[in-house]
Structure 1
Amino acid sequence: MKLSLLLLAALPIASYAQDSIAVTSNDMYPNTFSSGSANVQSFNNKARRFNDWSVSIGGGAAFMVHSDLVSITDEKFNWGYNSYVSLDKQINHVVGISLIYQRGETKQKGQLEGAEGIAAGVAEARTKYNQIALMGDVNFSNILRRVDNHSPYRWAMHGYAGMGFMSFNTSLHDNKDYSWSTNPRRIPLFINQKLGLNSVYYQFGLGVKYNVSSLIDVEARTMYIISGDDEFDGGGYAGSGDYDPNSKIPKYNMIDKRRSDNVWTVNLGLSFKLGKHTTHLAWHDPLQEAYYRANVLENKSTELIVCEKGDKDNDGVCDDWDRQPDTPAGARVDGAGIALDVDLDGVIDLYDKCVTVPGPVENQGCPTNK
């Protein structure tokens, strides 16, 4: 454990450590972390380890909610549809951004109160919309994933939020004022909102992704779209006079006091990951990689295998590098396994009677008296 903490503490130092070799080409640039310069590698496509682009498509159901006319009435669903396509860019392992286009249709109903509502019956409306937006993506799983979780990284939860512009067309008809009639002349209520600066909308939601392969992800995604427009459900225009209680026009846009008609979508989609690498950046957690590398180093065997060939003469020097593998028993040896001969007279100290004075072998290493 201590080794792991030491290695992790050293990671920032290693990351910022640079040598002091001068820059000699356009491929190198000054080291901004020191007063000198360094040979460092520029970050380009060649240096990338992960894919970071993808294209996503999907579709599902759409419901008008928290509005004057709603898609869910008396526990019954009036099903609409939603579809999307997006170009996705992963900025780092946690954050991404998407340019998304959505198209869909909702079906909703509502009824006025009192006698007016009884006469008009249940009004039915449709909204067809087109939306384009920039949307941020936060990978919660890369933030919350435990560092000791070594299971395959297949599932991830994502959070989305963004804003954009939309256009829509609505139609509403009932049994009275907004019905097809020639006598008196009546037509359903139609509203056409063109794409423009006054058609801003917001959206946020959650998604769960499954990493099928290095090329494809499958995702279940739910989004809540805030239109910011009380005309979005088709219940009527949203001018100041349209909220006058004394006006004779039907007040479908006053059934709910909120001035924003919103949509809830549930989608199933696919993401196609682009690039030549085997891993996408969204499926990589650098902190987990750091802990994994530290754990590998900590658990790596540091035992050295010595004396594979043994020590035949038992002089304490392995035969692997013993230059005198048959040293006599009891003789002192140097680091190479050679018996010591302090006075260099050719008689090893084990047999030398005069260890510090040279002498012939015939006299057991002692000088002769002449």
Structure 2
Amino acid sequence: MKLGLLLSLTLPLVFYAQDQTPVSAKNDYPNTFSSGSANVQKFDNSARRFNDWAVSVGGGAAIMLHSDLRSIYDGKINEGWNAYVSLDKQISHTFGLSLQYQMGKSNQQGQLPGAEGVKAGVANAWTKYQQISLLGDVNFSNLLRRVDNNSPYRWALHGYLGMGFQGYETLLLDNDVSQYAPRTFPIAVDQKLGVASFFVQTGVGLKYNLSKLVDVELRSMYIMSGDEEFDGGGDLRETGHPRINYNLINDSYSDNLLTVNLGLSFKLGKHPSHLAWHDPLQEAYYKTKFLEETPSDIVVCEKGDQDNDGVCDDWDRQVDTPAGARVDGAGVALDMDLDGVIDLYDKCVTVPGPVENNGCPAGTVFK
């Protein structure tokens, strides 16, 4: 069943990954949404203004929370430990991916019902595990923050969702069967890393931007193993022997683990800011506000307009145009028939004529 779930998640990604726009030359930059009409420029490392890689390490407590054998038993918390290291790539200011390795150990207790439980007493179990997973990281603060950037922010809320494979070893000891054969089936489990150990995890984290190189994060993850034997109860649900039916203590089919970690993220690169703290919209808002508050230093018609023709003397080619004359964009009086008499004085605007006859052909009689 877990293999089918894994295939259903990954196959759509494989098909959609083939949706690309071909290019005809090495200098072309495909852009499906612009049909080639947008001004698309090359974006490489030299064009970036921020870092987008990081390495994260951390560790903390591990608690088997939802299972047959649990870390919280009889009002007491028997916590374990865990540690992780990851390589993080920020895809955009709101989304990133992490390749993570995690290991740890949890401690559990539980008791069988009825007479078998009285005879066996409270069983103690532990689970040692190793995990390799791919995590998606959503920066909710950058996703929801839509205000001006006058005040730098240092806190960010992150959400995580991922999947991976794990290998684990478990052991359960009680006062009944274990005293005769403490490491025999089904009280001990050795699950190898592989497809059969597919798991899903989700969680939240609160990050603090300590400096341009380091972030501090408090992170909590909920790991859903999908395995009945992850808590140390054995690799069978119904063994046929009530003395070892630890997987029937409750109706859970998936043993789930909670981790609470304190970690550090080391931001890689030479740029002063990281993409996780660099919202392009915030930058646009800041520049807009800056321009709005900057007084205008542009002076129009510094030399004035002596002839009042509407064309500044800075670029007026005829600064003494007669009053009332129509002018072109360069401030020159119009002469439609090009006879040397401007239209203001030309009695025949569309027919050329000598200056002596007011721009009209010879022989023209005026009333």
For residues 321 and 197 of structure 2, the distance between their equivalents in structure 1, rounded to whole angstroms, comes to 100
- Aligned residue identity for 2:231: D
Match of 2:212 in 1: 214
User: Which of 190, 193, 204 matches 1:192?
Assistant: 190
For residues 192 and 136 of structure 2, the distance between their equivalents in structure 1, rounded to whole angstroms, comes to 25
Match of 1:16 in 2: none
For residues 283 and 174 of structure 1, the distance between their equivalents in structure 2, rounded to whole angstroms, comes to 52
Question: Secondary structure in 2 aligned to 1:178?
Answer: helix
Match of 2:21 in 1: none
For residues 170 and 127 of structure 1, the distance between their equivalents in structure 2, rounded to whole angstroms, comes to 4
Match of 2:269 in 1: 275
User: Which of 227, 231, 238 matches 2:225?
Assistant: 227
Change (3 A) 1:152 1:173: same
Change (3 A) 1:164 1:40: closer
For residues 266 and 321 of structure 2, the distance between their equivalents in structure 1, rounded to whole angstroms, comes to 78
Match of 2:280 in 1: 286
Contact 2:149/2:286 (CA < 8 Å) preserved in 1? no
Root-mean-square deviation (CA, aligned residues, Å) is 3.2
Match of 1:127 in 2: 127
- Aligned residue identity for 1:112: L
User: Which of 231, 242, 247 matches 1:253?
Assistant: 247
Contact 2:139/2:157 (CA < 8 Å) preserved in 1? yes
Match of 2:168 in 1: 168
| Match runs of 1:80-99 below 5 Å | 80-99=80-99
For residues 34 and 117 of structure 1, the distance between their equivalents in structure 2, rounded to whole angstroms, comes to 69
- Aligned residue identity for 2:114: G
Structure 1 residue runs without a partner (length 5+):
1-24, 180-184, 307-317, 325-331, 343-370
Per-residue Cα deviation, 1:256-304 (whole angstroms, up to 9, x for no partner): 1011111000000011111111111111111222222211122221266
- Aligned residue identity for 2:175: N
Contact 2:127/2:170 (CA < 8 Å) preserved in 1? yes
Question: Secondary structure in 2 aligned to 1:186?
Answer: coil
Contact 1:29/1:37 (CA < 8 Å) preserved in 2? no
Change (3 A) 1:292 1:149: closer
| Match runs of 1:335-350 below 5 Å | none
| Match runs of 1:1-370 below 5 Å | 27=27, 29=29, 41-148=41-148, 150-179=150-179, 185-188=180-183, 189-238=187-236, 241-242=238-239, 244=240, 247-302=241-296
Aligned residues: 293
TM-score, length-scaled by structure 2: 0.71
For residues 36 and 99 of structure 2, the distance between their equivalents in structure 1, rounded to whole angstroms, comes to 41
For residues 186 and 292 of structure 1, the distance between their equivalents in structure 2, rounded to whole angstroms, comes to 70
Contact 1:90/1:281 (CA < 8 Å) preserved in 2? yes
Contact 1:29/1:38 (CA < 8 Å) preserved in 2? no
Contact 1:222/1:265 (CA < 8 Å) preserved in 2? yes
Moved more, 149-158 or 93-102: 149-158
Contact 1:200/1:228 (CA < 8 Å) preserved in 2? yes
Question: Secondary structure in 2 aligned to 1:84?
Answer: strand
- Aligned residue identity for 1:255: I
Per-residue Cα deviation, 1:76-100 (whole angstroms, up to 9, x for no partner): 1102001000011111111101110
Shift of 1:148: 3.3
Give every structure 1 segment of 4 or more consecutive aligned residues whose post-TM-superposition deviation is greater than 4 Å. 25-40, 303-306, 332-336, 339-342
Question: Secondary structure in 2 aligned to 1:228?
Answer: coil
TM-score, length-scaled by structure 1: 0.71
Moved more, 169-178 or 146-155: 146-155
Contact 2:116/2:243 (CA < 8 Å) preserved in 1? no
For residues 177 and 158 of structure 1, the distance between their equivalents in structure 2, rounded to whole angstroms, comes to 46
Contact 2:129/2:167 (CA < 8 Å) preserved in 1? yes
Per-residue Cα deviation, 1:288-324 (whole angstroms, up to 9, x for no partner): 2222221112222126679xxxxxxxxxxx9x859x9
Percent identical: 60
Structure 2 residue runs without a partner (length 5+):
1-24, 314-318, 323-367
Contact 1:157/1:206 (CA < 8 Å) preserved in 2? yes
Shift of 1:156: 0.4
Match of 2:15 in 1: none
- Aligned residue identity for 1:56: S
Question: Secondary structure in 1 aligned to 2:229?
Answer: coil
Contact 1:333/1:340 (CA < 8 Å) preserved in 2? no
